[in-house]
A and B are shown apart, each in its own frame.
Chain A
Amino acid sequence: MSLDISALRAEFPLFGHYPDLVYLDNAATTQKPRAVLDAERAFYETSNANVHRGPHRLSIKATEAFEAARAKVARFINAERDDEIVFTRGTTEAINLVAYSWGAANLKPGDEVLVTALEHHANIVPWQLIARQTGATVRAIPVLADGSLDRTAFLSLLQPQVKLVAITHASNAIGTRLPVLELTAAAHVAGARVLIDGAQVIAHESVDVQALGADFYVFSGHKMYGPTGIGVLYAKAELLAGMPPWQGGGEMIDRVSFDGTTFAEPPARFEAGTPAIAQAVGLAAAIDWLNTHDRAGLRQHEAHLCALLDAGLRKIAGVKVIGNTADRAPLRSLVFEHAHPFDVAQFLDARDIAVRVGRHCAEPLLESLGVTGTLRVSFAAYNTVRDVERFLAALAETLDDLA
């Protein structure tokens, strides 16, 4: 089956409003296909009511839609059971949930949480906060100069006091994909649990949490063509069953009294208050949308765009790509010999080219690689060869201007 990228791009209404836009900030958030926008609107127009508590037909309809979204997510990442899916606001909240629930209950003085130096701040700071409360320690597995993980250091850091290994599936800042299967297996042999931050891979490849062996897997809806405000925590049922609540409120209780309150079973125990119902329905629509396309083909298309970008960048003097492992998410992080990334981004913006600059919420990583900030180009399925060509031409001219 051959891919028709211009037909796929036409499914995104935003590009109808900005026909000249070259949107290369997909690692921050992707645009939304009409199917997702329609699903959210249709939910509000035909099914809107609060979930899990109305004795009326509309509430039952809303609850069914919400729980069907949960089931769809479970199939999407091949979870064994639907109740292993907890809806959150996004990746950040999912990690915080694990830190404040599982972490608070299981970490004690002397214990360690291992993270990698590639992590987004969202997979560092929650562990630091919970470590401060529990007396545990957070240690970072270093990276090598090419942006790959120092596996020798990992194995030597993987001591019996390590209770959790929290690792990214792919770096948001430089794209490095980690060998999560191998790292997870090693961590399990050492008796540690594993959390994988899938925010940067979920739009680009099929994820099978059972095959990975992940104890926790987290991602956001808005980086995979779905709505903002909805994300997913996958956790093995046996772990969720033993985890205490982290936020109190409605929906998460069994019985409430001033003598003592008992809590609902997972996943309700972790979903206090009215959830993001329409957004969950939108996320399910994003999954359906992805599944109607040839996902392996889309991945190849994105890899092709990266290859074109790499070849073009080699022809422009004064550009350096940060991180050059063979296996990367479809993004590239650039620095320039004679220009500041922010200035380059301003000049590109004047030509309708949207990129991200800065430290990408990964300060420890950039510091260990010796750069203060980069310009990041990140692809999604709707990007075209023409997008890459326009970016390369504009970059070459901008660097001339700023020389």
Chain B
Amino acid sequence: MISPAFQHPFGSTIDRTALSARLDAANSWEAKNRLLVQLARELPGFSDTERNEEHRVSGCESTVWVMTYWHDGRLQVAADSDSRVIKGLLTLLLTAYHDQAPDAIRQFDLEGWLAKLGLTRFLSASRGNGLRAIARKIVAAASDK
């Protein structure tokens, strides 16, 4: 059975254009933080058993869990974090990579997108499980295909 954690709107009903518009509208750090927490609410969490070592991306400041599988040649991605700000940031990664074909995943310029959104600081935040490290894991999964 496929985990309900994959039943999220990011990458399917919410696309990059829609998400970019919401983030652009948040014009202070405070507003961005609030929006990220709001986005986190729209992402279903993992079950306790899914929050396991196999899915964990190592980090010091917060913990991130990622699950992937392939469906009809498109990568399915689910992600969760104990931090709501990080979970909100994960919705960006999901919007970029979830339900996408391998070529689209490899070609997507995540850093350019985050720079445009003014979120570059999170690329390497939280030593070891910054967005860059998590994205690398997802892209590696796509490259195996």
* Beta-carbon contact of B85 and A343 below 8 Å: yes
Chain B positions within 8 Å of A351 at CB level: 30
A342 proximal to B (CB < 8 A)? yes
Which of B28, B30, B32, B86 is most buried by chain A, counting CB atoms within 10 A of its CB? B30
Q: Mark B115-136, 1 if CB is under 8 A from A, else 0.
A: 0000000000011000000000
* Beta-carbon contact of A358 and B33 below 8 Å: no
Chain B positions within 8 Å of A342 at CB level: 61-62, 83, 85-86, 126
| Complex Cα gap A14–B126 (Å) | 24
Kindly state the interface size class of chain B when it binds its partner. 10 to 19
A239 proximal to B (CB < 8 A)? no
Q: Mark B14-28, 1 if CB is under 8 A from A, else 0.
A: 000000000000001
A350 proximal to B (CB < 8 A)? yes
* Beta-carbon contact of B37 and A343 below 8 Å: yes
Q: Mark B27-61, 1 if CB is under 8 A from A, else 0.
A: 01110111001000000000000000000000011
Whether A340 touches B30, Cβ cut-off 8 Å, given contacts A358-B61, A373-B61, is no
| Complex Cα gap A388–B126 (Å) | 25
Picked from B33, B60, B63, B127, the residue with its CB within 8 Å of the CB of A346 is B33
Chain A residues 348-362 with CB under 8 Å of chain B are 349-351, 357-359
* Beta-carbon contact of A346 and B34 below 8 Å: no
| Complex Cα gap A345–B28 (Å) | 16
Q: Mark B70-89, 1 if CB is under 8 A from A, else 0.
A: 00000000000011111000
| Complex Cα gap A345–B86 (Å) | 12
Chain A residues 175-225 with CB under 8 Å of chain B are none
* Beta-carbon contact of B60 and A340 below 8 Å: no
Picked from A345, A350, A358, A402, the residue with its CB within 8 Å of the CB of B60 is A358
In the complex, the chain A residue whose C-beta lies closest to that of B82 is A340
In the complex, the chain B residue whose C-beta lies closest to that of A373 is B61
A372 proximal to B (CB < 8 A)? yes
Q: How many residue-residue contacts, CB under 8 A, span A and B?
A: 44
* Beta-carbon contact of A373 and B37 below 8 Å: no
Chain A positions within 8 Å of B63 at CB level: 372
A401 proximal to B (CB < 8 A)? yes
In the complex, the chain B residue whose C-beta lies closest to that of A351 is B30
| Complex Cα gap A10–B47 (Å) | 52
Whether A357 touches B34, Cβ cut-off 8 Å, given contacts A340-B84, A342-B83, is no
| Complex Cα gap A359–B62 (Å) | 9
| Complex Cα gap A316–B19 (Å) | 35
Which of A340, A345, A373 is most buried by chain B, counting CB atoms within 10 A of its CB? A340
Which of B32, B85, B126 is most buried by chain A, counting CB atoms within 10 A of its CB? B85
* Beta-carbon contact of B28 and A340 below 8 Å: no
| Complex Cα gap A54–B134 (Å) | 52
| Complex Cα gap A190–B63 (Å) | 43
* Beta-carbon contact of A346 and B85 below 8 Å: yes
* Beta-carbon contact of B28 and A350 below 8 Å: yes
| A to B CB contacts below 8 Å, 7 in the list | A340-B85, A342-B86, A342-B126, A343-B37, A343-B84, A343-B85, A372-B63
Beyond contacts A342-B126, A358-B60: 19 other A-B pairs, Cβ-Cβ < 8 A, are A339-B84, A340-B62, A340-B84, A340-B85, A342-B83, A342-B85, A343-B33, A343-B37, A345-B61, A346-B85, A347-B30, A349-B29, A350-B32, A350-B33, A358-B127, A373-B61, A373-B62, A401-B34, A401-B37
